[in-house]
Structure 1
Amino acid sequence: MSENLLYPVERGDVLAAACPSRQILQHLTSRWGVLIMVVLRNGTKRFSEIRNAIDGVSERMLTQTLQNLEQDGMLIRKSYHTVPPHVDYTLTPYGEQAAEKIYHLVDWLEENLEAILAESPKS
């Protein structure tokens, strides 16, 4: 729910430009958002574990995407006051539900990749 809304939302409408569901969908389905959700589906991870699991993500993009997903209520960031700093990320119940759905799409893609590539038009 967005605090900018003047009335409670019973159901989102992702096709409506002003619906907050559109921004959450954008965060979840961004290149790094999808991959972070897949990594966290297997349980709590430290920042460095997430970074190491996702080939090619920069620290800046990882940090920004984690912040977006936290603001959207998809994950919880827990910081321990230690040296060096220790931060854990865990999916919320909504994050777990979203990660499961994203995982099924990713799994389908990986399972069918060869056939999809064989049928795609060559450039």
Structure 2
Amino acid sequence: MYKNILVINTMHIGDLMLVTPALRTLRTNYPEAHIALLTDKPLGDLVRCNENLDECILIDKHGRDKGLLALVRFIRKIRARHFDLVINFHRNERASAIAAFSGGKRIVGYSQPGFKRFF
């Protein structure tokens, strides 16, 4: 059903570890899907070798992706990927905006109240 899946988890190490079973479940249920994890740049090394992922997309929240214009540019890059399913594991504004405006055919997970209508 889903061929291109984006999982968003842009926060802390502990939160990232809690997402690992979800990634395994996605891989089990969609073995042929391309599964990408969007996470904060400093956490990239923790997930690069995860066998349940095809790709890590890193956001540099304190560097080149900092600020509203940079976020808009980042969202455009995500939209260009045409994800079928977007799963947001964080309720913060940045993750909610990325998920809401990702262009995903189906968007699920947590969101800030202002973005909820897009999920």
Give the TM-score of the pair, scaled to structure 2.
Answer: 0.24
Higher relative contact order (CA 8 A, sep 6+): 2
Higher strand share: 2
Higher helix share: 1
Q: Tell which structure's C-alpha radius of gyration is larger.
A: 1
Give the TM-score of the pair, scaled to structure 1.
Answer: 0.24
